[in-house]
């Protein structure tokens, strides 16, 4: 996570956004790392792993590969 996110509190929208995005990306990496079956299927192109975040206030979905 890069950038100036001071203060690092729940009142800082940019900080919350950065933490949330990092959580999605780390969760995707953990799924890939911890499951041999999923990792092999992803590597063979049999399945894809896509994370997503839904911004309620914007009614927008952001996808992460």
Task: State pLDDT tens for residues 8-51.
Answer: 888 888 898 899 999 999 999 999 999 999 999 999 999 999 99
Question: Structure pTM?
Answer: 0.76
Q: Residue 19: which residues within 8 A CB-CB, separation 6 or more?
A: 1
Residue 61 above 90 pLDDT? yes
Tokens of 42: 């992803």
Residue 1 above 90 pLDDT? no
Exposed/middle/buried for residue 17 (C-beta within 10 Å: 0-12, 13-18, 19+): middle
CA distance 33 to 53: 21
């Amino acid at each position: 996570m890069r950038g100036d996110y001071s203060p690092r509190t729940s009142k800082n929208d940019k900080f919350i956004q950065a933490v949330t995005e990092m959580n999605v990306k780390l969760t995707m990496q953990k799924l890939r790392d911890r499951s041999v079956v999923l990792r092999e299927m992803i590597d063979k192109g049999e399945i894809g792993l896509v994370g997503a975040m839904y911004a309620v206030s914007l009614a927008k979905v952001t996808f992460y590969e």
